[in-house]
Amino acid sequence: MKARQVDVVIVGGGMVGLALACALKETGLAVVVLERAEAAPRLSLGRDCRVSAIVAGTVQMLRGIGVWEYIGRHAQPIAGMRIFDGQRFGSIRFEAEEAAMEELGFLVENSVLSAAMMQVVHDSEHIEWCCPASVDSVVWKASHVEVVLDDGRVLHTPLVVGADGGNSWLRSQAGIQVWSHRFMQRGIVATVKPQFGHRGVAYQRFLSTGPLAMLPMTDGLCSIVWSADDAEADRLMALDDATFLAELQLAFGPQLGLIQEVGERAAFPLRSQLAKHMVRPRLALIGDAAHQVHPLAGLGVNLGIRDAMSLAQEISDAKRFREDYGSMDVLSRMRNNRMPDVLAVMGGMEGFHHLFTSDLPGVAALRDAGMRIVGNAGALKHLLMRRATGLSLNLPKQIS
């Protein structure tokens, strides 16, 4: 079959791959997104049990690429955050108004975010959505990449982008290895209904086995992400709803009154992972294909969208100045822009995990002291909030 020339091929049509496509929609480039299958959301109390905490800086990006307007009332504003050391007495409060912000971010169901991005994709005449579509082979050549699909179609492109997740097929085809750390834990996710209103506050309680997050959703519901050692996670997943609720209540505490109802639960293994090469000639990896972090702060999808925006800006700039955006000269600029942010978040998440699960003498007292210092230091809290919400990062809010 005769090869067809396109400008960018994105392998993986999840949230990060779609974000890149949406960011490129005004560049005039012909973009093809390949996705093997559209995954149906796993529902819990009628809501997608996989959610993302979209921080304020990422919200600005999604507004800039035309996605946020399709989310609207389906997003729950996060007005504040309470962090508790469940083994001691330390705690920290973060309030959006402390940093002169309307909200720290929003809690959005993954399926809602994907649907909003799909709306933008379908509205664009420059983006081609191919699903179901599987890649049979990829051949990197000096001037282009040859992408052969399972139905015999052949695409030639200056750049192929891997947005196909932590077990990236494209990364494997490129022979790129990863540094990986399995936490020997699983994250249990579900939707719950508390007795009292959450007032837009997100809660994070650090237990000896891992963090328990209670995240505010619309209509007074909450999403839980409960990290536990594998054996404990198996035990919790095997409990009936009433017993699970009792254990959840004991672990979380009385802040929202009685937790009255829990929907279907799901569990997934926790790991951190970093590709040894984020870019190669005519290849860029973004999102989980490039890096995975512990979900205790819910920053994974934000990192991926920041990757997408950085790459889209480099592609747009290269096109404007007639550079080859599949070359290492261009792609290395994206890598150099993104790696400090990625490494800082990965290191921070690893550090928090070990700090709050350590049983070494003196560590608990150190945690308490550190939380008191941060909690009482207004300027430091302000800086931490600006950094955690992505507002202090030098990244485009829309592609020019």
CA 102: distance to chain centroid? 22
The single-letter DSSP state of residue 362 is T
Q: Give the integer Cα–Cα distance in Å for 161 and 311.
A: 10
Three-state SS at 194: strand
* Chain centre to alpha carbon of residue 383: 22
Half-sphere exposure of 43 (CA within 13 A, CB side): 4
Question: What was the pLDDT predicted at 330?
Answer: 98
In the DSSP assignment, the letter for residue 395 is: -
Please state the length of the chain: 400
Q: At what angle do helices 15-23 and 110-123 cross, to 10 degrees?
A: 30
Q: What does each of the 400 residues of the chain score in pLDDT, given as a tens digit?
A: 689 999 999 999 999 999 999 999 999 999 999 999 988 899 999 999 999 999 999 999 999 999 999 998 899 999 999 888 765 556 778 888 887 889 999 999 999 999 999 999 999 999 999 999 999 999 999 999 999 999 999 999 999 999 999 999 999 999 999 999 888 899 999 999 999 999 999 999 988 778 899 999 999 999 999 999 999 999 999 999 999 999 999 999 999 999 999 999 999 999 999 999 999 999 999 999 999 987 765 678 999 999 999 999 999 999 999 999 999 999 999 999 999 999 988 887 766 655 556 566 555 566 555 555 555 555 555 666 677 788 888 899 989 7
Query: What is the spatial distance between Cα 102 and Cα 62, in angstroms, rounded to a whole number?
Result: 17
Q: What is the pLDDT of residue 389?
A: 83
Tokens of 16: 């990060």
In the chain the first and final C-alpha atoms are separated, in Å, by 36
How far, rounded to the nearest angstrom, does the alpha carbon of residue 240 sit from its chain's CA centroid?
30
- Going by C-alpha positions, the residue among 14, 7, 11 that lies closest to residue 33 is 11
Rounded distance, CA 26 to CA 399, Å? 8
In this structure, what are the phi and psi dihedrals at residue 172, rounded to the nearest 5 degrees?
-65, -40
SS percent in the chain: helix, strand, coil, step 5? 40, 30, 30
Cα Rg, the chain, nearest whole Å: 21
pLDDT of residue 354: 55
Q: What is the DSSP letter of 89?
A: S
The per-residue pLDDT for 359 is 61
pLDDT of residue 43: 97
* 290 token code pair: 């490039």
Superfamily of domain 4-179+271-388: FAD/NAD(P)-binding domain (3.50.50.60)
Note the pLDDT of residue 298. Answer: 66
pTM recorded for the entire structure? 0.93
User: Is residue 181 classed exposed, middle or buried when 0-12, 13-18 and 19+ CB atoms within 10 A define those classes?
Assistant: middle
pLDDT value at position 385? Answer: 67
Q: What is the Cα–Cα distance from 30 to 6, expressed in whole angstroms? A: 6
Q: Which of 392, 349, 309 is nearest to 20 (CA)?
A: 309
Per the listing, tokens 């982008």 go with: 161
